[in-house]
Structure 1
């Protein structure tokens, strides 16, 4: 079925969940009024409640349609056939994602999601990338907080280094400079579920920084140097351009995989100006207010991962995780989110040390940021100049947010995620 003849331009699956409701709100307030779209899920009454709330946001706008859909192949196949683009926020994706993605690939339906589960993406690339390319279907996972800020920061820095110095970008480094944001129930349990589902060998293989890249990582740059020997000895970094001491970033391992897939995809471009550079490496950190805070964060995150990796200690910790985490579908209150914000800072380097600095800021926390990134991507794919982007050149496949290019950067800016390059 040709995409132009489909019933909807966009279907949002998972609209009754915490993240899904926020995405629905941003579609309502930021995408064109003549958009043909629907909210989808299993519970019609909950979907009706969501639509009623959306009507309060924009009483003058036509309500989205409602599509009830069981999470089984025939229902998902019919849903995918009905729309040009499907957005899903239904996770954990390692359990619920593949049937949705498969239905989209098989029916030529473009796809966006909010996952941060790299081992799952690793498997999906192996299973569906070739068919998505054949069917000219654009599949973009990790189009939420994981991993748009990192992926777009790496893209912008590489572009600006090339533009300013007519040179390849050898390295890009980003830090979460400052933030206030809450956590939802679904996200807080994802790490636990990853260790339960996947073997340690599969986690190690799939979480290698270049595991998702279609280009071999031969001769890439090493990790960034530290300006302080003392911090280096305990695994921290001192990078003056990023604001001092840098410690382990909570989502660094995830974001680095996606940024390096973007690098690999752009390296396949016949236009050298589109390429990041053959030695490109991206690293992500979190800024620490002091040496001891940075060390404590590194130790705590490392210890949690180590304990979850051991079946016995994971069995002991699981009830604790489930007791303290919000219930799935729940998250920060609207009142507590009013003062949320996120500020990232990045620097890109040429091989001879020339640099470009940039800041990415959003006056919201992580869940609204995900609503921004998904709705902005949808606008580019449905109403933008998609054919002029790298995603358009590639035509299909399991791609990344950065392949939506400069138009996506500009749309993010319009929607409230501001990226500023320092002169």
Structure 2
């Protein structure tokens, strides 16, 4: 990657580098980013930041170490830090409690911003407060840029691009599934989920998950209505994806994908990527069988209600989960794996039998990304017609709706 020319001291700053996720970000930058990168790690403790530098030096001893910036959670420190860098990654959460300082600072300084939250309700509040400021300064701000909600957003974009290039078609219905997952969240992620309703009222959280709550434009097109049996069991059968059930991440990921749709429609410079007026989006978790799928659905429903309305339940759960700063060890991360699959129906009349299909998978840890898929395929309804291109961490193709599952 390369950075645009700028006059600031740093290309990139990692804020919160002494935490579990922040250290992994610093290690990734050390391992994969250009050696001429001008970057720094930031936090409150010089000693802990020096330990991060030691960890990074062990990974890449020939690389010049990052600079250290001492920065606390307040407007003055974050404002000064944001002015020093072209881009800032912050891993300091929960963002509902601690995230606004960095977001505000970057919006006001014209600094590009990335975080790893999944808190759509906090994202919504930041849009309301700082979108106008960011437009004025030229800052590009990307909340929810990690496993929530980047895979869903990028897969949708990939399939839309495929349909546009191969069928000259807009996008109709998109369905993304978490097809397989082996791994555990960090303590910070768990405490974010458990503490969200201590900061925001449940009505605000529910509002942020309503259709197009984060989008600058609204879409009157409704997603396909579930049948009575699907409403009762939480189970759906999706062509080319199989049996699926309720996903805990569907609301927050859908909010981001629908915001992307709205930005593509609303912003003149982005309208060439617009998905189409009849676009809809749904997200699920793969169900291995009917019994397990129903169990997952009702576990999420009951657990969600307890989290929203029962503070003692949240306090009890906090005692038995990983604490902030903790997470899977390096050995445990090596065994982790997550795979997403998705289909997109082209918005064509009369209806076509083809769909776009996409797969993204990550191995070696959900907090330290390693891609293991390296081809992009275009498959027509006849199995012997195939076109392949080298790509990155996803594969996609045109499939016959009648079934290649």
Structure 1 length-normalised TM: 0.84
Distance 1:92 1:24 in 2: 19
Conserved in 1, the CA contact under 8 Å of 2:74 and 2:101?
Answer: yes
Greater RCO, CA 8 A, separation 6+? 1
Q: Is the 8 A contact 2:180 2:340 kept in 1?
A: yes
Moved more, 346-355 or 65-74: 346-355
| Residues 202-245 of structure 1, C-alpha deviations (whole Å, 9 max, x = no match) | 12212213100111122x1423767xx75564221011311x21
Larger deviation: 346-355 or 276-285?
346-355
Partner of 2:383: none
**Alignment RMSD:** 2.1
Shift of 1:291: 0.4
Alpha-carbon shift at residue 3 of structure 1 (Å): 7.5
Distance across 1 between alignment mates of 2:224 and 2:316: 35
Q: Is 1:100 matched up with 2:94?
A: no
Please name the residue that 1:375 is paired with: none
2:326 alignment partner, one of 305, 330, 337: 330
- How many residue pairs get matched? 373
Give how far 1:106 is off. 1.0
SS at match of 2:330: coil
Taking structure 2 as the reference length, what is the TM-score of the superposition? Answer: 0.88
The 3-state SS of whatever aligns with 1:123 is helix
Moved more, 129-138 or 359-368: 359-368
Pair 183,276 (structure 1): closer, same or farther in 2 beyond 3 Å? same
1:286-333: per-residue Cα shift (whole Å, max 9, x none)?
1011101010011011111111221xx22x212321111111010011
Match 1:339 to one of 335, 347, 350 = 335
Q: 2:223 corresponds to which residue?
A: 222
Determine the C-alpha separation between the residues in 2 that align with 1:205 and 1:84.
33
Q: Residue 342 of structure 1: SS of its match in structure 2? A: strand
Match of 1:211 among 213, 230, 243: 213
Residue 399 of structure 1 is matched in structure 2 by none
Residue 24 of structure 1 corresponds to which residue in structure 2?
26
Greater fraction helix: 1
Residue 421 (str. 1) matches residue 396 (str. 2): yes
Q: Deviations over 1:78-135 (max 9, x none)?
A: 1111111111000000111111111111111111111111111101100100110111
Question: How far is the alpha carbon of 1:364 from its aligned partner?
Answer: 3.0
Distance in 2 between residues matched to 1:142 and 1:360, nearest whole Å: 17
**In 2, distance between residues paired with 1:421 and 1:224?**
26
Change (3 A) 1:318 1:235: closer
Conserved 8 A contact 1:171-1:221: no
Partner secondary structure for residue 355 of structure 1: strand
Contact 1:10–1:85 (CA<8 Å) still a contact in 2?
A: yes
Secondary structure of the structure 2 residue equivalent to 1:367: coil
Equivalence for 1:149: 151
Moved more, 21-30 or 349-358: 349-358
Q: Distance in 2 between matches of 1:15 and 1:276?
A: 37
CA distance in 1, matches of 2:110, 2:156: 29
- Post-superposition shift, 1:363? 1.5
Aligned to 1:292: 291
Partner of 2:186: 184
Structure 2 stretches lacking a partner, 5+ long: 372-388, 399-405
